[in-house]
């Protein structure tokens, strides 16, 4: 069961960190922007537009982003268990960006990392099945089948209810993948809808949490966690503490550490007394570490590794008490 393997890898590394590859072109150092001509050759040239030779194209941006991601992956793959690729940052570069997304997944996988696709997909059953096939399963092709964007984990949005989630949880079970359902998100407005009190006394996020526990019931692994995880922001410790008690079989993906203001002490409530139960995401704080004073002068990949080591120390202290 994939959450068992993830938990064991986190334990072996003593590091519940997932590095977010939310790579925008403007995060790249000048050096990588300069290799665009060479990089572009790796991605097909688009027929739709004509450009001046000195103009940056989506293909250039995608090639630079892929090269950047590969160097970050090389720099951290021995100290972190997983990467989370935020697909929005690739969609904004068109089909070339989607190719860079796909190749980032494959490269991270080839380096032994668990790969999470952060896409927050959601739709009615028939359409949700298409998304599920794309990220967690296989797409039918005449007699054959193939996977579009191989991911170990996928984030999804549960606003549509059970029949919008089942296609994902069914394929997660069938192919030993996992999903994370948005329960309590890390953004400032998350409370507008999620914190509303229901007639039955629960909040909307607590109710979503109860649905997530139900959706995972039949897929619990040896550590008690199901294939249906939850996204619970580090920026709302009080709510996270409630959810941790309410959702004993649900593994948490925890965004909001660092750039968004969540601290290791805020998010330790997402973990059980055994230090198990969640994985913490940091994206910009690692990708753009080379721009911070404390890592000044380091190449971006060395700075990313240094930032990961500092984050690991911070989490070990807060979560494992080491």
Fill in the per-residue mask, 65 to 84: x = in contact with its own copies (CB under 8 A), - = not in contact.
--------------------
Minimal distance in Å, beta carbon 316 to its own copies?
27
Instruction: With H, G, I as helix, E, B as strand and everything else as coil, classify residue 282.
Output: strand
Q: Which is nearer to its own copies, 159 or 217 (CB)?
A: 159
Contact call for residue 149 and its own copies (CB under 8 A) = yes
Quick one: CA dihedral 94, 95, 100, 102, positive or negative? Answer: positive
Q: Give the pairing type, strands 139-141 and 17-20.
A: unpaired
Minimal distance in Å, beta carbon 271 to its own copies?
22
Minimal distance in Å, beta carbon 59 to its own copies?
10
Q: Which is nearer to its own copies, 190 or 226 (CB)?
A: 190
- DSSP conformation class of 257: B
What's the distance, CA 118 to chain centroid?
Answer: 4
Q: Give the binding range for its own copies (CB under 8 A) out of 6-14, 68-76, 88-96, 307-315.
A: 88-96
Q: Which is nearer to its own copies, 17 or 185 (CB)?
A: 185
Minimal distance in Å, beta carbon 242 to its own copies?
17
Minimal distance in Å, beta carbon 37 to its own copies?
13
Q: Give the tokens for residue 261.
A: 């203001």
Q: Which of 143, 245, 296, 297 binds its own copies (CB under 8 A)?
A: 143
Contact call for residue 263 and its own copies (CB under 8 A) = no
Burial class (CB in 10 A: 0-12, 13-18, 19+), 55: exposed
Contact call for residue 109 and its own copies (CB under 8 A) = no
How many residues lie near its own copies (CB under 8 A)? Answer: 78
Q: Which of 12, 50, 53, 189 binds its own copies (CB under 8 A)?
A: 189
Instruction: With H, G, I as helix, E, B as strand and everything else as coil, classify residue 19.
Output: strand
Separation between Cα atoms, residue 229 and residue 308, nearest integer Å: 24
Q: Which of 12, 50, 141, 238 binds its own copies (CB under 8 A)?
A: 141
Q: Are 202 and 163 in contact, with CB atoms under 8 Å apart? A: no
Residue 145: enclosing H or E segment and its boundaries?
A: strand 144-146
Active site residues: 120
Minimal distance in Å, beta carbon 262 to its own copies?
12
Q: Which is nearer to its own copies, 102 or 213 (CB)?
A: 102
Fill in the per-residue mask, 24 to 63: x = in contact with its own copies (CB under 8 A), - = not in contact.
xxx------x----------x---xx-----xxxx-xx--
* 189-192, long-range: CB < 8 A, 24+ apart: 190/233, 190/236, 191/236
User: 289 to 318, contacts with its own copies by CB under 8 A?
Assistant: none
Fill in the per-residue mask, 192 to 221: x = in contact with its own copies (CB under 8 A), - = not in contact.
xxx-xxxx----x--xx--x----------
Quick one: CA dihedral 125, 130, 136, 139, positive or negative? Answer: positive
What string of DSSP letters covers 58-91?
Answer: HHHHHHHHHHHHHHHHHHHTTT-SEEEEETHHHH
């Amino acid at each position: 069961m994939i959450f068992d393997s993830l938990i064991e890898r986190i334990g072996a590394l003593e590091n519940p960190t997932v590095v977010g590859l939310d790579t925008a072109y403007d995060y790249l150092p000048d050096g990588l922007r300069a290799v665009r001509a060479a990089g572009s050759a790796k991605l097909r040239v688009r027929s739709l537009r004509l450009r001046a030779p000195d103009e940056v194209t989506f293909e250039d941006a995608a090639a630079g982003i892929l090269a950047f991601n590969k160097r970050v992956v090389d720099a951290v793959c021995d100290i972190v268990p997983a990467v989370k690729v935020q697909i929005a940052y690739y969609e904004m570069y068109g089909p070339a960006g989607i190719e860079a997304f796909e190749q980032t997944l494959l490269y991270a996988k080839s380096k032994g990392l668990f790969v999470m696709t952060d896409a927050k997909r959601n739709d009615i059953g028939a359409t949700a099945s298409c998304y599920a096939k794309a990220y967690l399963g296989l797409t039918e092709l005449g007699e054959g089948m193939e996977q579009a964007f191989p991911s170990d984990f996928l984030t999804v949005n549960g606003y549509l209810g059970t029949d919008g989630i089942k296609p994902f949880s069914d394929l997660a079970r069938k192919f030993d993948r996992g999903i994370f359902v948005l329960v309590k998100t890390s953004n400032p407005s998350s409370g507008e809808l999620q914190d509303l009190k229901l007639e039955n006394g629960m909040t909307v996020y607590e109710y979503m949490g109860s649905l997530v526990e139900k959706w995972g019931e039949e897929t619990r692994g040896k550590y008690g966690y199901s294939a249906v995880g939850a996204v619970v922001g580090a920026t709302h410790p009080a709510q996270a503490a409630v959810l941790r008690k309410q959702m004993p079989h649900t593994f948490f993906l925890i965004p909001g550490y660092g750039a968004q203001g969540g601290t290791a002490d805020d998010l330790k409530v997402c973990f059980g007394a055994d230090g198990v139960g969640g994985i913490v995401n940091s994206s910009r704080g690692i990708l753009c570490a080379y721009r911070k004073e404390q890592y000044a002068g380091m190449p971006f990949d060395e700075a990313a590794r240094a930032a990961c080591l500092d984050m690991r120390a911070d989490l070990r202290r807060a979560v494992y008490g080491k």
